[in-house]
């Protein structure tokens, strides 16, 4: 690890601590040249697959976007944020387990719909109506009958 002050390549680890329930390791280091101390953090880098949109463009998976769309569907519904967090975590685990480098955004949309169906039927219908671009009442009725 290079010293951020003098750019010397040799540093010594003075102290190591686990934080964030073991998800992050914090290390205090000392430069062997200028003797200044600094902190580094070590965490697992998760390589989620890129999303391939309908138009063929590719974007990085963004859990914040996923959370925002789920929260919009769940607006004014009695579902706690810890349940939304757990649903997002399940989706991320499925994406990691797929081992794919790229995944169609439609597949992620279907995963979101499954999770919303488990959490709240009204949120599921809200999300599905936008996601599937319903154009008339018959499509709503068919979805509601399927529930």
Q: What is the pLDDT of residues 14-50, one digit of tens each?
A: 999 987 677 789 999 999 999 999 999 888 777 889 9
Q: How far is CA 11 from CA 29, 42, 43, 115, in A?
A: 6, 16, 19, 47
Q: How far apart are CA 13 and CA 24, in angstroms?
A: 16
Q: What is the pLDDT of residues 93-146, one digit of tens each?
A: 999 888 889 999 889 988 998 999 999 888 888 887 776 666 666 776 676 777
pTM: 0.62
Q: How far apart are CA 145 and CA 74, in angstroms?
A: 20
pLDDT confidence of residue 132 = 67
Q: Where are the domains of the chain?
A: 11-43, 50-146
Instruction: Determine contact, residues 17/26, Cβ cutoff 8 Å.
Output: yes
Q: What is the pLDDT of residues 46-63, one digit of tens each?
A: 788 999 998 999 999 888
Closest by Cα among 65, 55, 57, 56 to 108: 65
DSSP-assigned states of every residue in 81-92: HHHHHHHHHHHH
Q: Among all chains, which residue has been given the structure tokens 């399927």?
A: 146
Band of pLDDT at residue 5, cut at 50, 70 and 90: very high
Q: How far is CA 21 from CA 17, 74, 85, 90, 98, in A?
A: 11, 29, 17, 19, 26
């Amino acid at each position: 690890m290079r010293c951020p002050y003098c750019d010397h390549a040799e540093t010594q680890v003075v102290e190591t601590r686990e934080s964030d329930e073991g998800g992050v390791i914090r290390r205090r280091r000392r430069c062997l040249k200028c003797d200044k101390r600094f902190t580094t953090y070590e965490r697992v880098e998760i390589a989620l697959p890129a999303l391939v949109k309908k138009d063929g463009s590719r974007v990085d998976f963004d859990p914040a976007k996923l959370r925002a769309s789920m929260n919009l569907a769940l607006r004014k519904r009695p579902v706690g944020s810890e349940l939304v967090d757990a649903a997002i975590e399940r989706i991320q685990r499925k994406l990691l387990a797929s081992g794919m480098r790229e995944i169609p955004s439609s597949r992620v949309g279907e995963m979101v719909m499954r999770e919303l169906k488990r959490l709240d039927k009204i949120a599921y219908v809200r999300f599905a109506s936008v996601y599937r671009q319903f154009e008339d009442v018959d499509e709503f009725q068919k979805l509601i009958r399927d529930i």
